[in-house]
Structure 1
Amino acid sequence: QGVLSNISSITDLGGFDPVWLFLVVGGVMFILGFAGCIGALRENTFLLKFFSVFLGIIFFLELTAGVLAFVFKDWIKDQLYFFINNNIRAYRDDIDLQNLIDFTQEYWQCCGAFGADDWNLNIYFNCTDSNASRERCGVPFSCCTKDPAEDVINTQCGYDARQKPEVDQQIVIYTKGCVPQFEKWLQDNLTIVAGVFIGIALLQIFGICLAQNLVSDIEAVRASW
């Protein structure tokens, strides 16, 4: 909950704590699973219809979200940029948040939202003359290119990195931003991502069809009594 509570303070959600989102999603999944399981075991048509309708609503919402994400992809890109830059400002404020940012930059092999200079937003890494920090004009170690021969992480590898010419920077640190790298990852793995979403959609449709079929069978048996 520590990192989630810190995320709530940097995402401009008006005090909304994202942990409540996880609680709501967990509660919905429990209710949906309970209705489907008990409805099938006890041959309760009300619970089965509830399960079917609720699953259909979730499928419709997911489909709507996918369409809106495609239509408003530029807005989503701006929000992602805003989110990452707010993370950069708060980098040293919480160790869990710091670990989250470091993991993201190492995994995507990126630095900042659109480039390493985005770290000027952080009071410890900005290049202003008034900055007395040893990390001035540098970047976190997670921005550094990795040497396979190194077994121990050099946490000071990003010191003074942005004082070097851009050609030399590319040798020491990742110069591409996390937003472009995320877009590139989506393009490279579009088939896998689409396959996952289609698979989830098919499972939901399959669940709806099974529930409706079971309701029909139960009602047919009861009608013959």
Structure 2
Amino acid sequence: MALDTGMKCIKYLLFIFNLLFVISGCVLIIVGAVIEANYRTYLDFISSSYLSAPSILIAVGVLIFVVGFFGCCGAVKENHCMVVTFVVLLFMIFIVQLGVGIASYILSNDVERFLHENMLKSMRNYDRSRPGVIKTWDVIQHDHACCGTNNYEDWTSTPYGEEYNGVPDACCKEHVSGCGRNIFNFSQKLNDINKEGCFDKLKGDVEENVTILGGIAIGIGFVQLIGIAFACCLAKSLKRQYETV
């Protein structure tokens, strides 16, 4: 079955579009697998729900790969059924991504409250039985030169603070083993730690990332509309030629 010149151009453009789609799906699968394998403990910081992020990433990658496969095969083989299947699946992904983008903007106002509540909650889990929480708080407090959620005094109401009458060593300006212990008994030792809380230093980054996520989801969604338009044109041309055969 021969296509006219215009449809041939659309066919090849659709093939290239879907080839990139398949590659991006593979990248998402690989990235999700790496995060799942190497950073599972680290993801336990704010909420256990974050542990589902790598799995969702892998699932999205697989879905994109399958949709891209249908698009590539449909374009190359000039198969009307596969092209239509591609259009339907891609449109469903577009709706989901558009929903994610809109939800990200709507829920961005709740991010600050959510982050604050869960940071305070995770501080109470700072103990040897939860190495992921310890690692995350140590990295954040050291890298951001901060201590606690609101300030260093948050540690007084945690099991760690009550046991050692102090703060984690990562709060210290100069990291020395045991430097954060018993600081609440000696006011002069307070000069050796960072007193500012980590919440103010993290919330801006988190809110910015949520906004970027929403923008990317919506942006990619509208790019997908181009693929849908190409596929619809090709499917219509293929249907017309099937009817004339």
If the length of structure 1 is used for normalisation, what is the TM-score?
A: 0.63
Task: Give aligned pairs, total.
Answer: 206
Partner residue of 2:101? 66
Pair 66,188 (structure 1): closer, same or farther in 2 beyond 3 Å = closer
Matches within 5 A, 1:152-191: 154=176, 156=178, 158-159=180-181, 172-173=193-194, 175-178=196-199, 180-185=200-205
Contact 1:8 1:17 in 2 (8 A): yes
Deviations 1:154-211 (A, max 9, x none): 455544566777xx65x74261333x33343367789976764554234323332332
If the length of structure 2 is used for normalisation, what is the TM-score?
A: 0.59
Partner residue of 1:115? 151
Separation of aligned partners in 1, 2:166 and 2:243: 78
Q: Which has the higher contact order (CA 8 A, sep 6+)?
A: 2
Is 1:214 the equivalent of 2:237? no
Pair 184,22 (structure 1): closer, same or farther in 2 beyond 3 Å = closer
Partner residue of 1:138? 167
Separation of aligned partners in 2, 1:43 and 1:109: 60
Is 1:98 the equivalent of 2:134? yes
Among 42, 53, 77, the residue aligned to 2:88: 53
Which secondary structure state, in structure 2, belongs to the residue aligned with residue 208 of structure 1?
A: helix
Quick check: which has more Rg, 1 or 2?
2
Pair 101,202 (structure 1): closer, same or farther in 2 beyond 3 Å = farther
Pair 50,110 (structure 1): closer, same or farther in 2 beyond 3 Å = farther
Separation of aligned partners in 1, 2:186 and 2:220: 48
Pair 110,196 (structure 1): closer, same or farther in 2 beyond 3 Å = farther
Deviations 1:44-100 (A, max 9, x none): 333333333333233323333333343344433322223323332223333344333
Pair 9,80 (structure 1): closer, same or farther in 2 beyond 3 Å = closer
Among 203, 221, 225, the residue aligned to 2:223: 203
Deviations 1:23-45 (A, max 9, x none): 53343233323322333333333
CA RMSD of aligned residues (A): 4.2
Deviation at 1:137, TM superposition (A): 1.9
Deviation at 1:138, TM superposition (A): 1.2
Instruction: Name the structure where helix makes up a greater proportion of residues.
Output: 2
Structure 2 unaligned segments of length 5 or more: list them: 1-35
Structure 1 unaligned segments of length 5 or more: list them: 148-152
Contact 2:101 2:216 in 1 (8 A): no
- Give % identity: 22
